[in-house]
Amino acid sequence: MTSAAYDAVVVGSGPNGLAAAIVLRQAGLSVLLLEGNKQLGGGLRTAELTLPGFRHDVCSAIHPLAAASPFFQTLPLAQYGLHYITPPVAAAHPFDDGTAATVVQSLTDTAQALGPDAEAYQRLLAPLVADWPRIANDVLAPLHYPRHPLDMARFGLSALLPATRLTSRFQTREARGLFAGMAAHAIQPLTNLTTSAIGLVLLIAAHRQGWPLPQGGSQAIADALAAHFVALGGHVETGTFVTSLRQLPPAKAVLFDVTPAQLLRIAGHSLSTVYRWQLRRYRYGMGVFKVDWALDDVIPFTAAGCARAGTVHLGNTLEEIEAGEQAAARGAHPERPFVLLAQQSRFDPTRAPAGKHTAWAYCHVPNGSTRDMTAAIEQQVERFAPGFRERIIGRHTFNTAQLEAYNPNYVGGDINGGLLDVRQLFTRPALRASPYRTSQTGLYLCSSSTPPGGGVHGMCGYHAASRALRDIFRLVPPPLFQSPD
- The 3-state DSSP composition of the chain as helix, strand, coil percent (nearest 5) reads 40, 15, 40
Same domain for 115 and 178: yes
Mean pLDDT of 47-64: 97
Residue 101 has pLDDT above 80, yes or no: yes
Q: Considering only CA atoms, which of 37, 36, 45 is closest in space to residue 15? A: 45
Residue 483 has pLDDT above 90, yes or no: no
What is residue 2's predicted lDDT score, i.e. its pLDDT?
Answer: 63
How would residue 3 be classed by pLDDT, with cut points 50, 70 and 90? low
Sign of the Cα pseudo-torsion (402, 408, 411, 413, in order): negative
What is residue 349's predicted lDDT score, i.e. its pLDDT?
Answer: 97
Residue 425 has pLDDT above 90, yes or no: no
Asked if residue 484 belongs to a domain, the reply is no
Radius of gyration of the chain (CA): 21
Are 302 and 98 in contact by the 8 Å Cβ rule? The answer is: yes
Same domain for 111 and 192: yes
Same domain for 304 and 375: yes
Same domain for 388 and 431: no
Q: Tens of pLDDT along 382-391?
A: 999 999 999 9
Same domain for 431 and 464: yes
Same domain for 124 and 78: no
Asked if residue 201 belongs to a domain, the reply is yes
pLDDT averaged over the chain?
Answer: 97
What is residue 485's predicted lDDT score, i.e. its pLDDT?
Answer: 64
The CATH number for 138's domain is: 3.90.660
Mean pLDDT of 57-82: 97
Q: Tens of pLDDT along 269-325?
A: 999 999 999 999 999 999 999 999 999 999 999 999 999 999 999 999 999 999 999
Residue 219 has pLDDT above 80, yes or no: yes
Asked if residue 483 belongs to a domain, the reply is no
Termini Cα distance of the chain: 47
How would residue 4 be classed by pLDDT, with cut points 50, 70 and 90? confident
Q: 220 lies in which domain range?
A: 6-82+214-282+414-472
Are 95 and 144 in contact by the 8 Å Cβ rule? The answer is: no
Asked if residue 227 belongs to a domain, the reply is yes
Same domain for 258 and 296: no
Same domain for 385 and 303: yes
The CATH number for 21's domain is: 3.50.50.60
Identity of the residue numbered 210: G
Which residues, 6 or more positions from 336, have their beta carbon under 8 angstroms from its beta carbon?
315, 316, 320, 324, 376, 379, 380, 383
Asked if residue 267 belongs to a domain, the reply is yes
The share of the chain scoring above pLDDT 90, in percent, equals 97
Output phi, psi for 365, to 5 deg. -140, 165
Same domain for 450 and 431: yes
What is residue 417's predicted lDDT score, i.e. its pLDDT?
Answer: 96
Same domain for 233 and 205: no
Domain closes at, from 384, 406, 428:
406
Asked if residue 421 belongs to a domain, the reply is yes
Q: Tens of pLDDT along 75-90?
A: 999 999 999 999 999 9
Same domain for 189 and 105: yes
Asked if residue 33 belongs to a domain, the reply is yes
Asked if residue 37 belongs to a domain, the reply is yes
Beta strand pairing call for 100-104 and 89-94: antiparallel
d(CA 411, CA 34): 20
Q: How many domains, the chain?
A: 2
Q: Considering only CA atoms, which of 5, 55, 57, 64 is closest in space to residue 32? A: 5
Domain closes at, from 406, 428, 447:
406
Q: Considering only CA atoms, which of 471, 408, 415 is closest in space to residue 448? A: 415
Angle between helices 195-209 and 118-139 in degrees, nearest 10: 100
Same domain for 146 and 10: no
Q: Considering only CA atoms, which of 42, 88, 35 is closest in space to residue 407? A: 42
d(CA 296, CA 389): 11
* Surface-to-core class of residue 252, CB atoms within 10 Å of its CB (0-12 exposed, 13-18 middle, 19+ buried): middle
Sign of the Cα pseudo-torsion (79, 81, 86, 90, in order): negative
Domain closes at, from 359, 383, 406:
406
What is residue 82's predicted lDDT score, i.e. its pLDDT?
Answer: 98
* Surface-to-core class of residue 380, CB atoms within 10 Å of its CB (0-12 exposed, 13-18 middle, 19+ buried): buried
What is residue 426's predicted lDDT score, i.e. its pLDDT?
Answer: 81
How would residue 460 be classed by pLDDT, with cut points 50, 70 and 90? very high
